[in-house]
C-alpha cells in the first residue's frame, strides 16, 4: 500500500508512520517528491492495516495496491520515473533509441556500428556478450571478450552500451562493464537473477517474457525494486500467438495499459517482435504512436552476415529511414523543433 501524507504533515507525523511500520515489521520506502510526501509499504494489500495507517495523524490517503506490486505502482510516483544514462533520458519528453547488433562479433563490427549510430543521433549501443539461444549449438556470444570490446568502443566514442546478463554467474562482469544491464525475456521469471539485479547500481532493462501477463511482468519488476534498485526500464518485445506472418505479436495495447499502472519507463523492441526487417519500421512507428518511451532496435553493418537474428536486423540505411520517419533528432521537422523550444 501507498501512504500519502498531507501537504502540511509534520516530521513527527511522518515519524509516526515509520514507527507504525516498524512495529508491524514492515519495510518502508520513501517515494516523496518536491510536492508530496509519499511512503510505500511493500507487500500484499491488507484492508485492516490500511485502515490503521489511514487513521494516523497527517495521513491524507492510503492507496490500495491489490495486485501486490506497490513499488512499481503508478501511485508510488505519479509524475513518472526518469532515468538518466549518460545524458539519455528514459521517461522524458523525447523517446530514446537504442540500436546495434544482436551479438558482439568483433571490434571492427561494433566500432563501425557505433560511428554509424552516432551520425544518426543515437548514443546508446546494444550488443550481446552472452547469448541465451534456443539451440545449444547456436552462437552463444564472445562472453567477457565482448565486454572488453564494448568498453573499448565506449572509451573511443563516448557511446553508452547495454548488454544482457544471462545469469547470476555472469552478472558481476556485466554490471562492472555495462551502462545498462538487460534481463532478457527468457529470464523474466528467474527470481535469483532478478534479486541480483535489484542489488545492482546499474539501471535494469527488463524484457517481458513472450507469454507473460501484465501482472507477471510487473511482479518481475517488483522483485528488482524490492531489493533496492529503482532504475528499472520495462520492454515489450512481442508475445506468442497463432500468427505466422511475424515471429511474435507486438502487444501495442500493453503500452497504455502499463502506463496506467506503473511509473516506470516503457521501451519497445520491434525487431524481436517482427522477426523480419521489413516489419520493423512500421512496428516502431506504432510503438511510438502508442506513446512508448523509446525503442531498442537491431542494426548490423551487414545484416545477412549476422551471427544471429540476421532476418530482423536493419542495415544502416534502413536505420536512417526509421530515424527520419520518427523525426528523431537530428531529423526533427522545423515544426517539431519549434515545439521543443520554450516560448
- State how beta strands 124-126 and 160-164 pair: parallel
CB 205 within 8 A of CB 162: yes
Q: Is 136 left (phi over 0), alpha (psi -120 to 50) or beta?
A: alpha
CATH number at residue 137: 3.20.20.70
| 143 and 54, same domain (yes or no) | no
Note whether residue 209 is domain-resident: yes
Residue that is last in its domain, among 40, 66, 92:
66
Per-residue pLDDT at 300: 96
C-alpha cell at 308: 544471429
| 326 and 271, same domain (yes or no) | yes
Note whether residue 74 is domain-resident: no
Note whether residue 75 is domain-resident: no
CATH number at residue 11: 3.30.70.1140
The parent domain of residue 12 ranges over 2-66
Note whether residue 195 is domain-resident: yes
Residue that is last in its domain, among 32, 66, 100:
66
pTM for the whole thing? 0.92
Per-residue pLDDT at 343: 53
| 139 and 207, same domain (yes or no) | yes
| 29 and 178, same domain (yes or no) | no
Per-residue pLDDT at 24: 84
Total structural domains within the chain? 2
pLDDT in tens, 289-306: 999 999 999 999 999 989
| 60 and 104, same domain (yes or no) | no
Note whether residue 336 is domain-resident: yes
Per-residue pLDDT at 140: 82
| 54 and 102, same domain (yes or no) | no
| 321 and 173, same domain (yes or no) | yes
Note whether residue 76 is domain-resident: no
| 187 and 235, same domain (yes or no) | yes
Per-residue pLDDT at 136: 85
The H or E element containing residue 294 is strand 294-298
**Does residue 85 sit in helix, strand or coil?**
strand
Residues of the chain scoring pLDDT < 70: 330, 332-343
| 51 and 163, same domain (yes or no) | no
Per-residue pLDDT at 338: 60
Per-residue pLDDT at 333: 64
| 205 and 303, same domain (yes or no) | yes
| 134 and 11, same domain (yes or no) | no
Give the integer Cα–Cα distance in Å for 134 and 200: 27
C-alpha cell at 69: 506490486
| 35 and 147, same domain (yes or no) | no
Note whether residue 73 is domain-resident: no
Per-residue pLDDT at 7: 87
Per-residue pLDDT at 228: 94
Per-residue pLDDT at 336: 57
Note whether residue 100 is domain-resident: yes
Dihedral sign, CA of 295, 301, 307, 311?
positive
pLDDT in tens, 58-88: 999 998 887 778 999 999 999 999 999 999 9
Per-residue pLDDT at 110: 97
Amino acid at each position: 500500500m501507498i501512504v500519502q501524507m498531507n501537504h502540511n504533515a509534520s516530521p513527527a507525523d511522518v515519524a509516526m508512520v515509520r514507527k507504525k511500520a516498524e512495529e508491524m515489521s514492515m519495510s518502508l520506502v520513501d517515494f516523496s517528491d518536491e510536492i508530496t510526501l509519499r511512503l510505500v509499504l511493500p507487500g500484499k494489500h491488507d484492508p485492516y492495516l490500511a485502515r490503521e495507517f489511514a487513521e494516523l495523524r497527517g495521513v491524507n490517503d492510503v492507496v490500495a495496491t491489490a495486485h501486490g506490486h506497490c513499488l512499481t505502482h503508478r501511485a508510488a510516483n505519479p509524475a513518472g520515473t526518469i532515468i538518466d544514462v549518460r545524458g539519455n533520458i528514459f521517461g522524458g519528453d523525447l523517446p530514446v533509441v537504442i540500436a546495434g547488433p544482436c551479438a558482439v562479433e568483433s571490434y571492427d563490427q561494433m566500432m563501425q556500428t557505433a560511428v554509424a549510430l552516432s551520425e544518426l543521433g543515437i548514443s546508446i549501443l546494444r550488443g550481446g556478450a552472452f547469448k541465451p539461444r534456443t539451440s545449444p549449438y547456436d552462437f552463444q556470444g564472445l562472453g567477457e571478450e565482448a565486454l572488453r570490446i564494448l568498453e573499448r568502443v565506449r572509451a573511443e566514442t563516448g557511446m553508452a552500451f547495454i548488454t544482457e546478463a544471462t545469469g547470476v554467474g555472469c552478472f558481476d562482469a556485466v554490471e562492472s562493464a555495462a551502462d545498462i544491464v538487460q534481463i532478457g525475456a527468457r529470464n523474466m521469471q528467474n527470481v535469483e537473477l532478478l534479486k541480483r539485479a535489484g542489488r545492482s547500481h546499474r539501471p535494469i532493462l527488463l524484457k517481458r517474457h513472450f507469454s507473460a501477463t501484465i501482472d507477471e511482468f510487473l511482479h518481475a519488476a517488483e522483485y528488482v525494486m524490492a531489493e533496492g534498485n529503482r532504475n528499472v526500464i520495462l520492454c515489450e518485445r512481442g508475445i506468442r500467438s497463432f500468427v505466422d506472418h511475424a515471429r511474435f505479436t507486438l502487444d501495442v495495447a500493453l503500452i497504455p495499459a502499463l502506463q496506467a499502472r506503473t511509473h516506470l519507463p516503457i521501451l519497445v523492441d520491434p525487431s524481436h517482435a517482427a522477426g523480419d526487417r521489413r516489419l520493423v519500421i512500421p512496428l516502431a512507428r506504432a510503438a511510438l504512436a502508442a506513446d512508448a518511451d523509446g525503442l531498442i532496435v537491431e542494426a548490423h553493418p551487414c545484416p545477412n552476415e549476422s551471427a544471429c537474428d540476421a532476418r530482423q536486423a536493419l542495415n544502416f540505411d534502413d536505420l536512417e529511414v526509421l530515424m527520419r520517419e520518427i523525426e528523431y533528432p537530428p531529423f526533427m521537422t522545423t515544426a517539431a523543433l519549434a515545439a521543443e523550444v520554450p516560448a
